Amino acid sequence: MGLQPYLILSAVVFCIGLFGVTTRRNTIGILLGIELMMNAVNINLVAFARYNGVAAGMVFTVFTICITVTEAALGLAIVILLFRVRRTVMADHLDLLKG
Amino acid sequence: MMANSGTLALAAWLLPALSFLVLAIVYPLRRLGKPAAWFSILCAGAAFASAVMAWRIQSVAAHPVHLVWPWLPSGGKTIADVGVLVDAQSTIMLCLVSLVSLLVQLYSVGYLHDEPAPAFGRYYAYQSLFAFSMMGLALAPNLLQLFMCWELVGLCSYLLIGYWYQRPAAARAAVKAFWITKAGDVGMLVGIVMLYRLAGTFDLTELHSLAATNALPLAGLSIITFCLYLGAMGKSAQFPFHVWLPDAMEGPTPVSALIHAATMVTAGVYLLVRTDWLFALTPNVLLIVAWVGAFTALLAAVLACVQDDIKRVLAYSTVSQLGYMMTAIGAGVAAAGFLHLLTHGLFKALLFLGAGSVIHAVGSNDLPNMGGLARRMPQTATVFIIGTLSLAGIPLFGGYLSKEEILGAVWGAHLTGPFLLLMLVAGLTAFYMFRVVFLAFFGTPSPVARVTHAHAAHASHAHGAHATTAGTAARVAHTDMHNEAVVEGAHVNETPHAHEPPVTMLLPLWVLALGTMAVGVMSTLHLGVGRVLLDAPEEAAPAWLTPSAVGVAVAGILLAWLTYQARLINAASLAAAFGPIRSAALRKFWIDDVFEGIYGVVLLGFSRIVGWIDRYLVDGVLNVLSDWTVQAGDELRGIQTGKPQDYVYGIGAGVLVLILLMRLVF
């Protein structure tokens, strides 16, 4: 198999994630979307690493996974705090930055 | 100690600096007051001892000692050095400064005895700083160090005039003194920098050798010397910059004695003496110096005749004598001016300290409140009269020789106009000084004065009469007393409260009096003090000069005696005879008004214009710009919805635009 199927898979996963981020009202849903987008990037990295025979891509992937885990933990903590304060996690109600 | 005049002079210079630093840094010592004072006096005494030793060595030495360290290095060479230039002139100036400084510090212990301790410590810190700066000025090997010390003494003058800074008059006088001298200093700085461009050095010795070998281009030199003279005008209170000096009398009297009589105001004269070889190249500037000096002498002498405040009389007299010195320099005989600087330093310090003693006893500066003090304060009266006779230029007294030298020099330089002015001033000087003597020490005590003492004693049961010494208390008390004298005349107490001051004040008075007498006797009897003091060529003065100068002085004394003691001439009719001059003099010849006018009309008018431009043009443009910014922000704030997804759309759009740009443009 060549590089292309991996890239297509990656693009599909990225688009699903992006769709989730842009359309979900629930903040947790948005976080899930972000996770998907990150994993699409990971697929890209691994695919290119195998294709070019350079190990750096693999190493980066490990880093990215670590960061994704922390990001998910932080994000969920923020969401929980947000719920305690505002009694809602719906993104369209959280518009304190409205100009 | 090594018998090296350079080291000794350096020690004399740095001892007051040590005292200042200790007092400035060691806060508890300064707050204690008295110990701080004695520490400062100890340093001043040691400085005086080293100064005298340095002078003794240097007065017989063949060459000046040039002890310097590099300062301001620039590209392998130094622009200026810092250190000491020890020669006959600078060491004798050092002796004068350290002597008067020591005596004044000693005197202040008694004079300011009821000041609060922290203020007392502050006073001594300033005094030490002043001694350091003034000695640095005297010893400066180059114009840059001289200028630095010049500004430092100006700062000390400001600080000490404003010592009672709670009094608005004192604060105002301090600012006035600072600004007016500063106006001259700007000219001086310009002159120094221009001289550096011309000669390539600040060093006095190098400049001297350049001038001696005619290596200095003469073109433009007049402007330089005039700029230097501007600085000297400000510092030495020459017309029209003399207006700050009488106001400076708001400071404590010992400060007036030290700074505004003996040392700092003579810094301008000293600068011209130090650079007289430079001024000799520009005779046109010297002519200005002579005429301005003589005119200043006359103007100030006339003003001194109408003053009722004893310190103001002395202040105008100082201005007048500074005019004398300047005229001598203008006549090209700087040595005569320098000699007068030294003798004047002694006897004017004596007069001021004597006046301080009187003020201390009476609690007022005004002559009408004094009278008959000779019986109560015989020692003060004696030394004051010694000082007065010196100032009047009577033979056997300190100012005689130096005054004759100046008159001879001015006559010898064919400056007939200034010479006549100076002769007139000699008579006026004797007149106004003896007016003070007769009004303060002879005659009958004024009733106001008696009530003053009574009230002062009444007001502070513990201390007796001198509880209210100089200062705010005295001023306030005095006005109160005036009212009370009118209201309850029965409160008069006949006991003589005015009395001799404590020994810390009497000792400096006697030292100065004896010093003045010693200089006077030695110079009059040609014991060679003049030759020791300076290596001036003997001036071939005409034979009629001495008798006529002394005659004029005696005539002035006689007139004062007839008017104020024997009362053969009615003072009021004498005043009426000089009606217009007198009324003009009472208004200080409108010079202060002219300054105020310049300030009020020109400066304030200019400020108003600038203020208008700032308020309406500059601010207007800025306000319009800020309004636009605010409006634009108002319009654009709608973009910020606060919804996370909208921001994601924004990021996506931005990425797309970037990609398109990369594709299309690059």
Quickly list DSSP for A70-92. HHHHHHHHHHHHHHHHHS--BGG
Contact, B136 vs B145, CB < 8 A?
yes
Neighbours of B15 (CB within 10 A): 26
Q: How far is A69 from chain B (nearest CA, A)?
A: 21
**Interface contact B645-A96, CB threshold 8 A:** no
What is the maximum alpha-carbon separation in chain A?
Answer: 51
For residue B607, give how far its alpha carbon lies from the nearest alpha carbon of chain A (Å): 44
Residue B109's CB is within 10 A of a number of other CB atoms, namely 21
Mean pLDDT, chain B, whole residue set:
82
Report the 10 Å Cβ neighbour count for A96.
Answer: 7
Measured CB to CB, residues of chain B less than 8 Å from chain A are 636-645, 648-649, 652
Q: For position B212, what pLDDT does the model report?
A: 87
State the Cα–Cα distance between residues B373 and A68, nearest whole angstrom: 100
Spell out which residues of chain B touch residue A95, defining contact as CB-CB under 8 Å: 641-643
Strand partners, B67: B84
Establish if A4 touches chain B: CB-CB under 8 angstroms: no
Poorest-pLDDT segment among B82-86, B392-396, B589-593: B589-593
Categorize the per-residue pLDDT at B498 as very low, low, confident or very high, splitting at 50, 70 and 90. Answer: low
DSSP label of B309: B
> 3-state class of B71 per DSSP?
strand
Q: Which residue has the tokens 């060491």?
A: B91
- Listed in order, strand segments (DSSP E) in B439-564 are none
In tens, the pLDDT along A51-99 reads 998 889 899 999 999 999 999 999 999 999 989 998 888 888 887 877 7
How far from the centroid of its chain's Cα atoms is residue B74's Cα? Answer: 35
Answer whether residue B327 shows pLDDT above 50.
yes
Rounded Cα–Cα distance for residues A72 and A92 (Å): 21
Chain B interface includes A49 (CB < 8 A): no
Least Cα separation, residue A18 to chain B (angstroms): 9
Round to whole Å and give the CA distance between B46 and B1: 13
CA distances from B517 to B343, B387, B401 (A): 10, 9, 12
Token pair listed for B258: 């030290």
- Of the partner residues A21, A94, A98, the one whose CB lies closest to the CB of residue B640: A98
Length of chain B: 666
- The number of CA neighbours under 13 Å toward the Cβ of B69 is 2
Find residue B68's DSSP bridge partners.
Answer: B83
Question: What average pLDDT does range B406-430 have in this prediction?
Answer: 88
Of B640, B643, B649, the CB nearest to A91: B643
Specify burial of residue B655 (Cβ count, 10 A radius: 0-12, 13-18, 19+).
exposed
Tell me what pLDDT residue B1 has: 41
Residue contact A22–B641, C-beta within 8 A? no
Please state the rounded mean pLDDT for residues B519-548: 64
CB B249 within 8 A of CB B598: no
Token digits for B341? 């600087």
| Cα nearest neighbour of B635 on chain A | A99
Residues in a beta bridge with B142: B203
Mean pLDDT value of segment B352-372: 83
Q: How many other β-carbons are positioned within 10 Å of the β-carbon of residue B327? A: 33
To test the contact with chain A by mutation, choose from B630, B643, B649 the residue with the greatest count of A C-beta atoms within 10 A, namely: B643
pLDDT of residue B457: 38
In this structure, what are the phi and psi dihedrals at residue B306, rounded to the nearest 5 degrees?
A: -105, 5
From the list A21, A96, A98, the residue facing B648 with the nearest CB is A21
| Distances, alpha carbon B478 to alpha carbons B162, B442, B452, in Å | 21, 22, 7
Residues A96, B640: C-beta atoms closer than 8 Å? no
